[in-house]
Amino acid sequence: MPELPEVETIARGVNKRLRGDRIVQAWFGSRPQCFKKPPELQAKGLAGCTILEVHRAGKHIVFELSTEPAAAQPRQNKTATKSAAADAQWIVHLGMTGRLLVTTQDSPTAPHTHARVDLASGRELRFVDPRLFGRLDFRDLRNGAAAFQAPGAEPLTIGAREFAEIFHRRRMPIKAALLNQSLLSGVGNIYADESLFAAGIGPRRRSNRLTAADLERLRQELRRILKHAIRLGGSSVSDYVDADGERGFFQLEHCVYQRTGEPCRRCKAPIRRIELAGRGTHYCPNCQR
C-alpha cells in the first residue's frame, strides 16, 4: 500500500513524464466514493489545464495546474514551467490500492478504472483503484480557494523540537499517534512498525510517556527508514506509472512488518502481532520496550 516513500516515487515518476503536458479532456466514472468534488466539476476544471508540476504532500499527489491557454505554455517545456503560477490543483490520494498509470490511447482499460485524463501528447493518465479507498479532488485557486496542504507535519524535514512537542501532547499509544495524519503526514502502517522497531520503542507506549531521547531516536530512525525506502523505491517502483503498471511496489526488507512468528533479525525472538488502533501491529517483544 502506498505510504510516503511509494507516493514520493510515484509523484516523481508522474512529474517526469507529464510535466508540461496539457490536459485535453477528462473522464470520470460513476463511483462517487472516489470523488471529493463532483466528477463533472473535476472534468470541467481539468480540461485545458497545463501540468506545471507534480509533487507529493503527505500521502497525496498534487498536480499543480495552470488554466492559462496552452499557447502560452509550450508542451514539455521543462525550464519555463516553474515560473508560471499554478491557479488550480488536482489532488490524488491512492488510498490502499490506488494506482496512476501513464498509458497510450490504445492501451486496454484495466478493471476498476475510475478516471482518465487525455493529454495533448496523445498519452493518457488513468486512475485505477479496486478497493475505492482512493480520493480525487480538484481545486480552482482563482477565486480564493486555499491551496492544498497536508494536514500534519512533513516527516522528512520536521525538526527535533517540533517532533517532541507534537508527541508529548498526546496520550494515545505511540503507534496510533504515528498513524495520525493530522500530526505527521505520510506515515502508514508499515513505516510506523518499522520505525518503532528501529528505535526500540514498544508500540503500546503512551506517546506522552516517551522520553525526549526516545522521541529523538524515533524521529531519526523514521527519517532514515523513509529516505532509505525512497531510494529503493526509486529503482523498483519507477515503472509503476508505466503502461504495464504490473511491477508493483518495491520489496523492503522488513524487520517486523508482517513477520509474525518469524525470528527477530536482531535477537531471534519471535515477532509478535497485536491489534492497535484497529491495525495489525508487529513488534519484537525483546528489542522494543
Write out the catalytic residue numbers.
Answer: 2-3, 59, 279
Q: With contacts defined by CB under 7 A, how many residues of the chain interact with DNA?
A: 35
Specify the residue, 1 or 147, whose C-beta has the smaller distance to DNA. 1
CB of 189 to DNA, least distance (A): 4
Q: Which of 5, 45, 188, 203 binds DNA (CB under 7 A)?
A: 188
Shortest gap between Cβ of 231 and DNA (angstroms)? 21
171 lines the binding site for DNA (CB under 7 A): yes
Among 20, 95, 155, 245, binds DNA (CB under 7 A): 95
Is residue 268 a contact point for DNA (CB under 7 A)?
A: no
Q: Is 65 in the site for DNA (CB under 7 A)?
A: no
Contact 139, 91 (CB under 8 A): yes
- Binds DNA by CB under 7 A, chosen from 25, 33, 76, 77: 33
| 15/9 Cα distance (integer angstroms) | 10
> Does 245 help bind DNA (rule: CB under 7 A)?
no
How many C-beta atoms lie closer than 10 Å to residue 25's C-beta? Answer: 13
Shortest distance, position 96 Cβ to DNA, whole Å: 5
Contact flag: residue 9 with DNA (CB under 7 A): no
Q: For the chain, give the DSSP string.
A: ---HHHHHHHHHHHHHHHTT-BEEEEEE-S-GGGBSS-HHHHHHHHTT-EEEEEEEETTEEEEEEE-S-GGGS-TT-TTTGGGSPP-EEEEEE-TTT-EEEEEETTSPPPTTEEEEEEETTSEEEEEE-TT---EEEEEEGGGTPPPP--SSB-TTT--HHHHHHHHHT--SBHHHHHH-TTTBSS--HHHHHHHHHHHT--TTSBGGGS-HHHHHHHHHHHHHHHHHHHHHHHHHSGGGGSSS--S-------SSTT-TTSBPTTT-PBPEEEEETTEEEEE-TTT--
The footprint of DNA on residues 101-140 (CB under 7 A) is 111-112, 130-133, 135
Which of residues 179, 201, 218, 255 is near DNA by CB under 7 A?
179
Task: Select from 43-51, 54-62, 214-222, 234-242 the region that touches DNA (CB under 7 A).
Answer: 54-62
Radius of gyration of the chain (CA): 20
Shortest CB 1 distance to DNA, Å: 5
- Interface residue with DNA, options 19, 22, 93, 219 (CB under 7 A): 93
Which of 108, 144, 261, 278 binds DNA (CB under 7 A)? It is: 278
Considering only the stretches 95-103, 154-162, 213-221, 262-270, report the one whose residues sit in contact with DNA under the rule CB under 7 A.
Answer: 95-103
Minimum distance from residue 123 beta carbon to DNA (Å): 26
> d(Cα 125, Cα 115) in Å, to the nearest integer?
8
Member of 55, 234, 279, 285 binding DNA (CB under 7 A) = 279
Instruction: For residue 128, list its beta bridge partners.
Output: 99, 113
Point out which residues bind DNA (CB under 7 A): 1, 3, 33, 58-60, 93, 95-97, 111-112, 130-133, 135, 151, 169-173, 176, 179, 181, 188-190, 258, 275, 277-280
